[in-house]
Amino acid sequence: MTLATPAYKRILLKLSGEALMGDDAFGINRATIDRMVSEVAEVTAMGVEVAVVIGGGNIFRGVAGGSAGMDRATADYMGMLATVMNALALADAMERQGLTARVMSAISIEQVVEPYVRPKALQYLEEGKVVVFAAGTGNPFFTTDTAAALRGAEIGAELVLKATKVDGVYSADPHKDPTATRYTQLSFDEAMVRNLGIMDATAFALCRDQKLPVKVFSIIKPGALKRVVLGEDEGTLVYA
C-alpha cells in the first residue's frame, strides 16, 4: 500500500500534561497515552520527523494544593520535573510500540535523560527518531507553550501542533454556545486582536516573529494528527 504524501516534513507536537490524564483526576492514563502514541507512529511511518514538547500539569496537579504560597520559581522547577516524568512515560510507550524515542531535558539530570543539545536533536530527527523535549525551556516563569515555540524554531519545524481537547479555535466556547463556529485559519494579528488565548503571549510572539505557523487541533479525535500532516481541513491554522 502506498502511503499518502505528507504536507509537512518536520513537526513539533505540543502535548499538555492534562492530555495524558484521560478521564483521571491526575496522573497518566495508560490507554490514553498508548492511543496518542499510535497516532504519532502513524505519521512517522509516512516519513514525518516528529518532536514533542510535553507539559506536566497532570502530575503537578496532584501536589498543587501543597504548592499554594510557594515561591514561584520553586514551583516552576517542580513543574519542570513533572514534565521529565511525563517525557519518560511517553518515550516508554513509544518504545513499546516500536518507535525509537530520545528524551532531552533542558535541565541537567544526566543519570536519567540526556541534556538538550540542538545538533544532537537534529541528528536524532534525521535518523527517524522521535525526540521528546522535557523540562520546558529550563527557566522559571516560562510555559511549555514557550518551550514549544522555542524548540520548534530551533529545530526548523515547519509547523507547531498544539494538541487540545477541542478540534480547533472557535468564535466562542463550543461547549456552552452551540452557535460557535470553528475558524479554519487566522493570522497571528487577528488572533491577538480577538484575544483568543491560543498560546501564552511570549510563545505567540515568538511564533509570529519566526513565521512559524501553529495548528490547533484535537488530540482525542481519531486520525486528526494524520489529517493535519496531510494538509487536510483539520483544526485551525494560525499563520504569520
Assign 214 to helix, strand or coil: strand
**Residue 158 within a domain:** yes
CATH number for the domain spanning 36: value is 3.40.1160.10
Q: Of 238, 216, 235, whose CA–CA distance to 15 is shortest? A: 216
Q: Which ranges of 11-137 would DSSP assign to H, the alpha helix? A: 30-44, 57-60, 72-96, 118-126
Residue 94 near residue 40 (C-beta atoms within 8 A): yes
- Total number of domains constituting the chain: 1
Pick out the residues of the known binding site. 14-17, 56-57, 61, 76, 137-144, 164, 170, 173
pLDDT tens for the 240 residues of the chain, in order: 446 789 999 999 999 988 888 777 778 889 999 999 999 999 999 999 999 999 988 876 655 555 567 888 988 999 999 999 999 999 999 999 999 999 999 999 999 999 999 999 999 999 999 999 999 999 999 999 999 999 999 999 999 999 998 899 998 888 889 899 999 999 999 998 888 889 999 999 999 999 999 999 999 899 999 999 999 999 999 998
Assign 11 to helix, strand or coil: strand
Question: Maximum Cα–Cα distance for the chain, whole Å?
Answer: 57
**Residue 5 within a domain:** no
Cα distance between residue 40 and residue 37, in whole Å: 5
**Residue 4 within a domain:** no
Burial label for 152, CB within 10 Å (0-12, 13-18, 19+), is: buried
**Cell numbers 484575544 correspond to what residue?**
195
Q: Of 179, 211, 181, 178, whose CA–CA distance to 196 is shortest? A: 181
Cα distance between residue 239 and residue 11, in whole Å: 15
**Residue 183 within a domain:** yes
**Residue 3 within a domain:** no
The whole-number pLDDT of residue 157 equals 98
Domain of 215, in residue numbers: 10-239
Residue 236 near residue 215 (C-beta atoms within 8 A): yes
**Residue 172 within a domain:** yes
Pick out the residues of the known binding site for ATP. 14-17, 57, 61, 164, 170, 173
Helical pair 72-96 and 30-44, crossing angle rounded to 10 deg: 70
**Residue 167 within a domain:** yes
The whole-number pLDDT of residue 80 equals 93
In a 13 Å sphere around the CA of 113, the CA atoms on its Cβ side amount to: 27
Going by the DSSP 8-state scheme, the letter that residue 170 receives in this structure is B
**Residue 1 within a domain:** no
Pick out the residues of the known binding site for UMP. 56, 76, 137-144
Cα distance between residue 137 and residue 89, in whole Å: 20
